[in-house]
Chain A
Amino acid sequence: MKAFFTVFLLAFFFQLYPVFGQNLTGVKIYINPGHGGYDSDDRNVVIPPFAAGDPNGFWESVSNLDKGLHLRDLLQAAGAEVIMSRVLNRTVDDRPLSAIAEEANVNNSDFMISIHSNAHTGAVNYPLMLFHGWDNNPILPASLDLANLFWENLISNQIAHWTYTSRSVRGDKSFAPESWNGYGVLRPLTVPGLISEGSFHDYIPETYRLMNIDYKKLEAWHFYKAFVQYFDGTPDTKGKIAGYVKDSFSKVTAYYVAPGSKDQWLPVNGATVTLNPGNKVYNVDNLNNGAFVFHDLNPGTYQLTFEVTKYQQKVVENIEVLPNKVTYFLCALDQDRSDPLKVLSHSPAPAAGELVSAATTISFNFNFEVDRASFESAFSILPVTSGTFDYSDQDRTASFVPSNPLEKSTLYTVTLDKSARHIGNLSMDEDYSFTFTTRNRNRLELVDASPLNQSTNIFPSSQVKLHFDWKLKNLNLSTLISFIDAQGNPVPRSTIEVNTLPGDVGTYAFRYSALTPGAKYFLNLNRNIEDESGLTLGEDITIEFNVISVPVPDASIVYSFEDAVTDWTVDEAKSLNIITGASTRILRYSTIKLFGTYSYRLLYAFNPGEAYVVVNYANSGIKVSTNDYLGLYIGGDLSHNKLYALFEGASGLFEIPFTTIDFAGWQLRGIRLTGLPDDGLYTFKGFKMKSGETPFSVSGVVLFDNLLWSMESITSLPDNNNIDNRNIIIAPNPVVNDINLYTNLKINDTPYQIIAIDGRVVQTGIAKLDNGRSQIPVSSLLKGVYFLIINNGSEKHQTIFRVN
């Protein structure tokens, strides 16, 4: 009887055994979930919607603990004894490394596992196992055995994308920096142990997966499975179904994903996954992972049903569950495109009265992915414009890109016929149409330049300056604007300045030095120079100029601009509408000069409207009389401001027009003082500079070097700077509609040409002179600088003017 009872008990025990565990009785495992406490020793990865430091966001300590606790539960259910270094997540739970190892040692553990996840560049994801020792020489060989089992189980996870699938099982002394001598938690172990870096928590798709408790439990189950294999336990009799729910078409755009991988597809938040038989329901979370896991399933055949708003339901039959295995189903759900195609927004969408750049692209944003062929067929624009189509945001945005800039000052009507449909084949309910008007410009204009084309009076060290009607896009300008010699060799440039003026206008300037007198140089402007509104120059422009030696006429230097500027001051009281202080001042300047050690540098800034700055020269000893000649080397800024020389004598104060600063860099300009009365000597008192009242006149820098005086004509002045040689005068200048031409020449109706600064003849005609006066229309000309040449065969004269 007793024997029978004993046999019965034994039979009963073994009958129960498979129900309760996989025979790990007596095995003692030490689990160390790494880090702890949301502190500086922890690892926080910021993922929306969680801000940095949010305890509800991703923390490695939390992830490690979740895995550790589930592993504990699995091992204990199998009869193992488990010690955990922590079960809570506080700083105090983050034990010193030596204490962790000692706890495993003194409690006679059979194995120690330290659970972690890894981080590197945010672009990789793979499991890595670390045992103590070198790659080919583990200090405790059993560590390597279990490390391999861990890796094999973790790499089998098909929910994750692994960027690297080669075996990553490393000795810590080979892997870690040499100065570490291995990892602190492995070094003091008397028992086999390993550090599991299960995946990379800084690879954002994985970060989101590690926010899912079942995904972490799956990793823990893989640890457990490895332990069962290691300790020859009984394999799990149950299986699992795991996978993810993702969009079949839409892709992730908000963060980096491994290109071309399954992580590229957008996870579907909030899906419901129903398992039958058993009617088990899994609610996918809203944390951008799409992950689901059904644990502890009896082997058999199952059905999965996937449902979520705005997606088509999917039913999958014949999912086979096997013991001790995970059956993966990676679900791609099609969006429920049962609504018609709808335009959510368009561009351009200007406010009332707002004008649009002629470089604009026309775009539509849709609620679904648009069928390209139907979109292109349904699209129209009036006036008719040629262009191409472009798609983005996974075809939820469709654009029409005009081949050329749109016409300026033109009302465009864009229509999308309701025949446009989405990839689900449903078209729009009605036509969609909008309008916009372009600005009064459709190309970038070069409105002024120095040097001008064919200039023959350019100094060897000077400045190039280009003025445009819009701010330049500062991209590759040094390539798009080339500066070469006659042999095609690039010429060095320095002090490059871009867009230095306020408002819409654009500028490009640079300095050069040591050009060869007598040589020819070229400035090439590429047609693709672009402004900030997207318009381009549209055509190549070449400016050719010749360099001369710096002219040094036979005249006395009455002021060298070498002395300290103590006698030179900006007279704010006599100036008008200037911005005072550092914006308008005169100072001695050693960086750029033509002669000696210094020049003087006048910085100025005008407010809009009529404005002028007066610079006084106190204690001037420079005496002049009527009909004397003055010359001055001026470093201009192409501002078209007007410079006057100031004199004081018996008849009072006089402002004598000196020159218009219609150039950049150094020039020698001069005047004959015919405007002074013939009543004695006059003292030179300084300068006055009036604003040209153009967008390029508002601020800048003008340099002065060597003031010359002579009683004879300063013969080396270039002809077109000799103000005495004015046979034709035009006004207004600048001009908008018509030029009034005045001449003292005895000529009749005379042919004229108007030539652009690039040398193109843009207008010709006959100047009909009436008592030395004629009117020439220029309203058809674009904004810019032009030459007017009148030439009747015996008289040829030219002057320069600007169209605003």
Chain B
Amino acid sequence: MKKILVLLFLLAGTCFAQQIKTIAIEPLEIGEGERYFYPQFNHSGNQILLTSENYIGLKVLNLSTKELISISKETGAGYAATFSEDDQTIYFIENYFENRRRLNALKAFDLNHQKTREIEPATRSLLKPMVFDGSLLYKKSNEIKKVDRTGLKSSGKSGVYVAIENRKLVVYNNGVPQTINPLNVESYIWPSIAPDGKRILAYGLGEGAFICDTDGSNVISLGQIEAPVWLGNDFVVGMVTNDDGHVILESKIVAFNIKQKQQFTLTPDSIISLNPSVNTGTNKIAFHTPDGIVMIINYQLDIK
């Protein structure tokens, strides 16, 4: 009987496909005449990080109260900003230039107290941080470091951290680095870890987006989807663009069903839709247009 039930379950998994569709797209009303880019949802979906066109400055918008708090005005502040797992802290990097050389400083903004503290002073060797399993992981010099829920800094010898180091895709499992080259290309960008921590999503220059296991195996190519992000563990959302070498002529937000290898277009051709951010709790995807209008997709997942 159990075997029959398992068999039926397996058959169901193969017979039914998960689809995603757009229910509505609405502009995010922030302030008249103000332009914002690269929106990032928090985990709860009730707050969203915003920055300028070149990632200068960082603000956080409460979607319920519409309160907009300025966190930083520095160069690069909007580039690597991310929420802590409890959404109480916003981690971000500020860029400085010394003798024309770029330095990165890692900072944390406490939403409750609205205060910023420095985690790492400006340095040449700081890489983009990630939040995994409640902790912030980042690499400085040759060491993976960790900031836990309490804000305590330690060595990052646990957890999964993925970084781009001199164009290479490097995965740190419990602090142990492994350079992987799933697509056999020279350069990778846009790395991230699946919510369940079991797979990596990235983009290989010349090949496109892909997912693979943390050791680089079981590669699944997703096609030319740029700025890809996870939607749960089964979908990847990104943008598909068309440019003429000077300007982006078209861009649409798409969702890719990893299991079914099926792509869904979520935005109309009439909108140049860029750089999505997903919140699965509220079934929303935020993106921006070239003019700096942030828009929210309300999506629906169907099983057919």
CB within 8 Å of B: which residues of A?
26-28, 34-35, 41-42, 81, 83, 85, 92-99, 102-103, 105-111, 132, 139-140, 142, 176, 180-185, 187-192, 230-232
CB pair B226–A190 under 8 Å, yes or no, is: no
**30 interchain pairs (CB within 8 A)?**
A26-B124, A27-B100, A83-B187, A95-B205, A95-B206, A96-B243, A97-B245, A97-B247, A98-B226, A98-B248, A99-B203, A106-B189, A107-B164, A107-B167, A108-B102, A110-B100, A132-B54, A139-B56, A140-B54, A142-B100, A180-B246, A181-B291, A184-B247, A187-B54, A188-B53, A190-B79, A191-B102, A192-B97, A231-B101, A232-B99
CB neighbours (8 Å) of B54 from chain A are 132, 139-140, 187-190
CA distance A97 to B15 in the complex (A): 39
For A108, what are the chain B residues with a Cβ–Cβ distance below 8 Å? 102, 104, 124, 127
- In the complex, what residues of B have CB within 8 A of residue A96's CB? 224, 226, 241, 243
Instruction: From A83, A93, A107, A192, name the one whose CB has the most chain B CB atoms within 10 angstroms.
Output: A107
Closest Cβ neighbor of A106 among chain B residues: B164
Q: Is A34 a contact of B245 with CB atoms below 8 Å?
A: yes
Residues on A with C-beta less than 8 A from B53 are: 139, 181-182, 187-188
A27–B124 Cα distance when bound, in Å, is 10
Question: With A96-B241, A98-B226 in contact, is A140–B166 under 8 Å at CB?
Answer: no
Would you give the 0/1 interface string for B211-223, flagging 1 where the beta carbon is closer than 8 Å to chain A? 0000000000000
B101 touches A98 (CB 8 A): no
* Interface residue? B89 (CB, 8 A): no
For the complex, what is the distance from the CA of A42 to the CA of B245, rounded to whole Å? 8
Additional pairs, 11, CB under 8 Å, beyond known A95-B206, A191-B95, A231-B99 = A28-B102, A95-B205, A96-B243, A103-B167, A105-B55, A110-B102, A142-B100, A181-B53, A187-B290, A192-B97, A231-B100
Residue of A nearest to B190 (CB): A102
Instruction: Please measure, in the bound complex, the distance between the C-alpha atom of A105 and the C-alpha atom of B54, giving whole angstroms.
Output: 10
Report the Cα distance A108→B101, complex, angstroms. 10
Residues of chain B in range 122-174 having any CB-CB distance to chain A below 8 Å:
124, 127-128, 164, 166-167
Chain A residue at smallest Cβ distance from B187: A103
State the CA gap A96–B242 with chains docked (Å). Answer: 8
- Given A110-B102, A189-B54, is A99 in contact with B248 using a C-beta cutoff of 8 Å? no
Interface residues of B in 74-90 (CB under 8 A from A): 75-76, 79
User: Closest approach, in angstroms, between the C-beta of B120 and any C-beta of chain A?
Assistant: 14
Q: Are A98 and B128 in contact (CB under 8 A)?
A: no
Q: How far is the CB of B272 from chain A (nearest CB, A)?
A: 10
Chain A residue nearest to B251 (CB atoms) is A98
What's the minimum C-beta distance from B209 to chain A, rounded to whole angstroms? 10
Across the interface, do B190 and A97 meet the contact criterion of CB distance under 8 Å? no
Residue of A nearest to B100 (CB): A231
Size category of the B interface is 35 or more
For A99, the chain B residues whose CB sits under 8 A away are: 189, 203, 205, 226
B244 close to A (CB within 8 Å) = yes
Task: Give the distance to chain B from A186, nearest Cβ to Cβ, in Å.
Answer: 8
Instruction: Check A97–B248 contact: CB distance below 8 A.
Output: yes
- CA A32 to CA B295, docked complex, whole Å: 31
Contacts of B166 in A (CB 8 A): 81, 83, 107
Please tell me if B278 contacts chain A, counting CB pairs below 8 Å: no
Asked if A106 and B101 sit within 8 Å, CB to CB, the answer is: no
| A188 proximity list for chain B (CB < 8 A) | 53-55
Query: Interface of B with A (CB < 8 Å)?
Result: 53-56, 75-76, 79, 95, 97, 99-102, 104, 124, 127-128, 164, 166-167, 187, 189-190, 203, 205-206, 224, 226-227, 239, 241, 243-248, 274-275, 290-291
Closest A-B pairs by Cβ, 9 of them: A190-B76, A102-B189, A106-B164, A180-B247, A92-B206, A184-B248, A184-B247, A181-B290, A190-B55
In the assembled complex, the Cα of A108 lies from the Cα of B80 at a distance in Å of 12
Chain B nearest CB: distance from A100 CB in Å?
9
* Choice from B75, B187, B248, B275 contacting A140 with Cβ under 8 Å: B75
A231 to B56 CA separation, bound complex (whole angstroms): 23
- The CA of A26 and the CA of B99, in the complex, are separated in Å by 11
A288 CB to closest chain B CB (Å) equals 27
Q: CB-CB < 8 A to B190: which residues of A?
A: 102, 106
* Complex contacts, A98 vs chain B, CB 8 Å: 226-227, 239, 241, 248, 274-275
Query: Roughly how many angstroms separate A184 CA and B290 CA in the complex, as a whole number?
Result: 9
Q: Which of B54, B164, B203 has the most CB of A within 10 A?
A: B54
Q: Which residue of B lies closest to A231 (CB)?
A: B100
Q: How long is the Cα–Cα vector from A779 to B117 in the complex, in angstroms? A: 116
Q: How far is the CA of A92 from the CA of B187 in the complex (A)?
A: 13
User: Complex Cα distance A567/B97, Å?
Assistant: 99
A288-B128 Cα distance, complex, nearest whole Å:
51
The listed residue with most A CB atoms (<10 A of its CB), out of B167, B187, B241, is B187
> By the criterion CB–CB under 8 Å, are B99 and A184 in contact?
no
Question: Which residue of A is nearest B191, CB measured?
Answer: A106
**Nearest A residue to B54 by beta-carbon distance?**
A139
With both chains docked as a complex, state the minimum distance between the C-beta of B249 and any C-beta of chain A, in angstroms. 9
A35 to B246, CA, bound (A): 9
With a 10 A CB-CB cut-off, give which of B76, B97, B246 has the most chain A CB atoms. B246
Instruction: State A142–B97 Cα separation when bound (angstroms).
Output: 9
Q: How far is the CA of A93 from the CA of B224 in the complex (A)?
A: 13
Least CB distance from A210 to B in Å reads 17
Most buried by B among A139, A185, A190: A190
Q: Which residues of A contact B102 (CB under 8 A)?
A: 28, 108-110, 191
Question: Which residues on B sit within 8 Å (CB–CB) of A110?
Answer: 97, 100-102
| Chain B: minimal CB distance from A130 (Å) | 10
Chain A residues whose CB sits within 8 angstroms of the CB of B187 once the complex forms: 83, 103
Q: In the assembled complex, which residues on chain B have CB atoms less than 8 Å from the CB atom of A107?
A: 164, 166-167
Q: What distance in Å separates the Cβ of B98 from its nearest Cβ neighbour in chain A?
A: 10
Of B79, B274, B291, the contact of A105 (CB 8 Å cutoff): B79
Known: A95-B205, A103-B167. A35 touches B245 (CB 8 A): yes
Chain A residues with CB below 8 A from B189, complex form: 99, 102-103, 106
**Cβ contacts under 8 Å, B275 to chain A:** 98
Task: Give the complex CA separation of A217 and B174 in angstroms.
Answer: 47
- Distance of A180 Cα from B104 Cα, bound (Å): 30
Chain B residues within an 8 Å CB radius of A83: 166-167, 187
- In the assembled complex, how far is the CB of residue B58 from the closest CB belonging to chain A, in whole angstroms? 12
CB of A78 to closest CB in B, whole Å: 14
Cα(A231)–Cα(B97), bound, Å: 11
A23 to B226, alpha carbons, bound, how many Å?
Answer: 37
Residues of chain B lying within 8 A (CB to CB) of residue A41: 243-245
Min CB–CB distance A455 → chain B (angstroms): 68
CA distance A83 to B205 in the complex (A): 13
Question: Which chain B residue has the least Cβ–Cβ distance from A190?
Answer: B76
A79 → chain B, closest Cβ, in Å? 13
Q: Which A residues are in CB contact (< 8 Å) with B101? A: 26-27, 110, 231
B32 CB to nearest A CB, Å: 19
Which chain B residues border A105 with CB–CB below 8 Å? 55, 79
| Docked pose: A107 CA to B227 CA in angstroms | 16
From A27, A132, A184, A190, give the contact of B246 (CB < 8 A).
A184
The residue in chain A whose Cβ has the minimal distance to the Cβ of B164 is A106
The reply to whether B75 and A190 form a contact with Cβ atoms under 8 Å apart is yes
Smallest CB-CB separation from B274: which chain A residue? A98
Query: In whole angstroms, how far apart are the Cα atoms of A188 and B99 in the complex?
Result: 23
**Alpha-carbon separation in the docked complex, A184 to B100 (Å):** 24
In the complex, A99→B224 CA distance in Å? Answer: 11
Give the residues in chain B near A176, CB-CB below 8 Å: 246-247
Decide if A183 touches B247 in the complex (CB within 8 Å). Answer: yes
The answer for the CA separation of A99 and B99 in the assembled complex, in Å, is: 27
A95 to B241, CA, bound (A): 11
How long is the Cα–Cα vector from A35 to B244 in the complex, in angstroms?
Answer: 9
For residue B128, which residues in chain A have a CB less than 8 angstroms away from its CB? 106
Nearest Cβ on chain B to A537's Cβ, whole angstroms: 58
Shortest CB–CB separation between residue A193 and chain B, in angstroms? 9
How far in angstroms is the closest Cβ of chain B from A263?
27
CA gap between A110 and B101 in the complex, in Å? 6
Residue of A nearest to B207 (CB): A92
> Which residue of A106, A140, A180, A187 has the most chain B CB atoms within 10 A of its CB atom?
A106
Q: Bound state CA distance, A181 and B227, in angstroms? A: 20
